[in-house]
Amino acid sequence: MTTTDVLPALCDITDALPGVTRIETQDKDEAKELIFDRTRSVYPHAQMFGEFCPINAYIDAPFRDVYEYLADTRSLEEWTYSLRGFVETDEPGLWESFDRVGGQTKCYARTIANPDAMTVDYHCAWDQGKHLWMIYLMRVIDAQVVLNKPGSVVTWVNCKHPFYDENPYPETAPPGRPVWVGDGWDLFYAGHQMEMDNLKAICEYRASHGLPIKPDWMK
């Protein structure tokens, strides 16, 4: 029996599994045809950003310093468009601010960071801090490893939680607020890219001027 007669990684499956493309079941020409068929010059917005909103950037600043900055929840006061007035609540690690997009809307945030993997996850929610369902997943990467140059690569992914479509806690909303955070989901990519540009500009300015990426007031 040759190695192409079996699927070692799928030994529990006797037939070709629909949706799985491997060289054992589709040769290179078939795979190339499939890839070309999925490659287009224009993509519908919903197809690109329907359930996930991915943002990426190169930042010409030391990767460890960029990570330490992002890992501090208070950095959101600087590089986000509208989160302002951060104060720590009575619950350790849970911060309260105002999202100015929503007027007097309170936004709660808890940062879960891993210094080894350099991941920074912001767990957030409008109006209440008991169920932090808005999850922003970020990672800082040594640009020398992936781009062969000094600096940082920052990735940022937001997933479309079902609550973006309908406020699960309407009783906690400020009276008369006309908007909900999910109303602008179709604009999240452009809005988050604007904020990523803010992050890049702030970090690169400080790095190029010999300033600490994480300012003294955060220490």
- Helix, strand, or coil here: 87? strand
Give backbone dihedrals phi and psi of 21, rounded to 5 degrees, phi first.
-110, 115
Percent of the chain with pLDDT over 70: 93
Q: Are residues 70 and 156 in the same domain?
A: yes
Q: Are residues 7 and 67 in the same domain?
A: no
Q: Are residues 86 and 30 in the same domain?
A: no
Is residue 14 over pLDDT 70? no
Q: Are residues 118 and 86 in the same domain?
A: yes
Whether the CA torsion 27, 48, 112, 205 is positive or negative: it is positive
The pLDDT, as a whole number, for residue 5 is: 53
Mean pLDDT of 1-9: 50
The pLDDT, as a whole number, for residue 1 is: 40
Give me the number of domains the chain comprises.
Answer: 2
pLDDT band at 12, cuts 50/70/90? low
More confident residue, 40 or 124: 124
Q: Which of 24-38, 54-68, 132-146 has the lowest mean pLDDT?
A: 24-38
Q: What is the pTM of this model?
A: 0.87
The pLDDT, as a whole number, for residue 90 is: 97
59: CB partners within 8 A, 6+ apart: 66, 143, 151, 152, 153, 154, 199, 200, 203, 204
Range of the domain at 30: 3-37
CATH number, domain containing residue 112: 3.30.530.20
Q: Are residues 123 and 214 in the same domain?
A: yes
161: CB partners within 8 A, 6+ apart: 133, 134, 135
For the stretch 192-203, pLDDT in tens is 999 999 999 999
The pLDDT, as a whole number, for residue 35 is: 81
